[in-house]
Structure 1
Amino acid sequence: MPISPSPERLLDLLEAPHWKTPGSTSRKTEGPTARRTEGAAAVNLTVVDHIAAGRRTLAEADRLAAEGTPLARRKAEALRQAQALKSLALMGERTDVRRHACPYCGAYALLLSKAGRAVCINRHCAPAGVQRSWSLVELLMAAPGRPSGVRRSEARPRDDRDPAVIVRFLQHTAHPLTSDQLRRLVTMYELPSWPSRTHRDPRTRSYSLSDVLTAHAVDAAKRTPSDCAQSPRPACDGLADAFFGETKMGGVKVEEAKALCQACPFREPCLEAALADSDVLQHGVRGGLTARERRDLKTRELKAREEGPRDPSKCTQGHDLAGDNLYIRPSSGQRSCRTCTRAAEKRYRQKSKR
């Protein structure tokens, strides 16, 4: 595996005049309004800002490394590696992120997005319609995920690719494949195939990239088991955008997010930590409950603690739950007070007349 230049060396290279000239990278340095009112920038502002931010990042990494604690050293190294990946991406080399496995599914399916986040393109990694993503520092601090097994597409997916394309994609990973190894993988795990979209010859087959990635991850884990984490990971790992929206965000609805929480081994400690936060910080789906549900739960628990143990033979207002005053709902069996119910109905009618 080629050794990447140090982050300091990459920042020194970006200091060269030809990198600082306008248009030296593919990213826009200013908008049309700025060009009309102020003229063209004398330098590539993207590169200049990147260099300044990179120097600050490396200084923070040095400070953390000086602390000497294992966590501080680990984060310092992650900051340095992330800075190197960002510099390489600015120079046009965006494939280095593929050397890292997805922290959730263990597949070598990561791409660097325009926002600078590592995105897993494996369809079998996240719920339908979304993709898991991590900041580069989060990615480099996390251990590779443990593959859950080989997944196979039941119908022809949108990510079916010819074998040559799949080989080129995996060429930049920590475990590249040759064409012969890909054929062995397809045969060993009985991966489905379809007629190629690009070749007229019907004998030419294409395969789902996600199917191959899951099989490749399982095969790589067998060959190098130390590369894979043995501990389970939270179901929401890499899906922050999907879990922190009250109605719908990132393609995942609240019901789907809550369903993932129910099967998560960390649901109870997650809910406990969420309930410990103040009402101002209650946002998104955590522990299988929305922010409103968590606030209501905290209110009920606080009220119950203030009132102390309640007499089951009386309602909250002190009325006897017996005789004609007791009503039991046939559907749920819930006990309610007729006096309180009539009082609530009376207040509602008076309010409606206003």
Structure 2
Amino acid sequence: MATQDDTTPAERLRLLQLEFITPRRRGPAASRSTRPTEPAAPLDIDTVDHVQGSVAEVVALTRAAAPDAGPRPASVEGLYGWWRENTAHLEPEKQQHREAVIYRHGLEHALMLGERKVIRRHPCPGCGTWGLFWNQALQRALCVNRYCKDASGGSSTWTLSHLAQEHVNRKEKSARRAT
């Protein structure tokens, strides 16, 4: 039986794929005074690129670790399960890396869906406080604790990859202590 952590990235990826058919709204239609000369794209190009990039990364990493892996699933929902199945034989460090990539994908999918609060569920890797916010301009998580500074004296920022690796490491330590 899959846990919520196992299904969330796949569900979010499926949701993103469903959004393909919905064109992005670029502002209030009532304020437009002239008619566009070209029709809007029939789908959200950024979302298409994101989903294709995520699928391509998973397929490439799976093929690199298990060249004899069968064909990838037709639906995106089975993609992460396919990756886990074909790389279950790897050493624990590589499996941890796989789980970190899956978790990072889940964060990326959530941010594409507009769920910025997923970043708030992580403690800051620098100071341990729960003061992380997503900074869209930087494309990084930003710690708002005024005492948590980087080397240049600015606020500490963290990539999604770093947050995902920290999350997987905490989960692994917790599992080891429980046994």
TM range (shorter): 0.5 to 0.7
Change (3 A) 1:37 1:68: farther
Quick check: 1:14–1:20 contact (8 Å CA) kept in 2? Answer: no
Quick check: 1:57–1:79 contact (8 Å CA) kept in 2? Answer: no
In 1, Cα distance between equivalents of 2:60 and 2:135: 24
Quick check: 2:122–2:130 contact (8 Å CA) kept in 1? Answer: yes
Match of 1:244 in 2: none
Instruction: Encode CA deviations 1:180-226: one digit per residue, 9 max, x unaligned.
Output: xxxxxxxxxxxxxxxxxxxxxxxxxxxxxxxxxxxxxxxxxxxxxx7
Instruction: Encode CA deviations 1:118-177: one digit per residue, 9 max, x unaligned.
Output: 221211110585122222112221379xxxxxxxxxxxxxxxxxxxxxxxxxxxxxxxxx
Per the normalisation by structure 2, the TM-score is 0.62
Aligned length: 136
Match of 1:58 in 2: 58
- 2:43 maps to a residue whose letter is V
In 2, Cα distance between equivalents of 1:120 and 1:61: 31
Quick check: 2:20–2:48 contact (8 Å CA) kept in 1? Answer: no
1:135 pairs with 2:159: yes
Match of 2:96 in 1: 74
Match of 1:20 in 2: 21
Q: Give the % identical residues.
A: 28
1:94 pairs with 2:95: no
In 2, Cα distance between equivalents of 1:61 and 1:7: 16
SS at match of 1:95: helix
In 2, Cα distance between equivalents of 1:38 and 1:72: 48
Q: Give the one of 9, 12, 20 matched to 2:11.
A: 9
Match of 1:125 in 2: 148
Matches within 5 A, 1:162-173: none
In 1, Cα distance between equivalents of 2:60 and 2:163: 18
- 1:43 maps to a residue whose letter is L
| 1:97 CA displacement | 1.8
In 1, Cα distance between equivalents of 2:37 and 2:145: 45
In 1, Cα distance between equivalents of 2:57 and 2:8: 13
Which has the larger helix fraction? 2
The RMSD of aligned alpha carbons is 3.3
SS at match of 1:111: strand
- Runs (4+) of structure 1 exceeding 3 A deviation are 2-5, 36-39, 60-65
In 2, Cα distance between equivalents of 1:57 and 1:112: 23
Task: List alignment gaps of at least 5 residues for structure 1.
Answer: 27-35, 145-225, 228-354
SS at match of 1:119: strand
| 1:113 CA displacement | 2.0
Per the normalisation by structure 1, the TM-score is 0.33
Task: List alignment gaps of at least 5 residues for structure 2.
Answer: 27-35, 66-83, 175-179
Change (3 A) 1:91 1:84: same
| 1:39 CA displacement | 4.1
Quick check: 2:144–2:155 contact (8 Å CA) kept in 1? Answer: yes
Instruction: Encode CA deviations 1:281-304: one digit per residue, 9 max, x unaligned.
Output: xxxxxxxxxxxxxxxxxxxxxxxx
In 2, Cα distance between equivalents of 1:68 and 1:112: 33
Q: Which has the larger radius of gyration?
A: 1
Match of 1:104 in 2: 126
Match of 1:84 in 2: 106
Change (3 A) 1:117 1:61: farther
- 1:40 maps to a residue whose letter is A
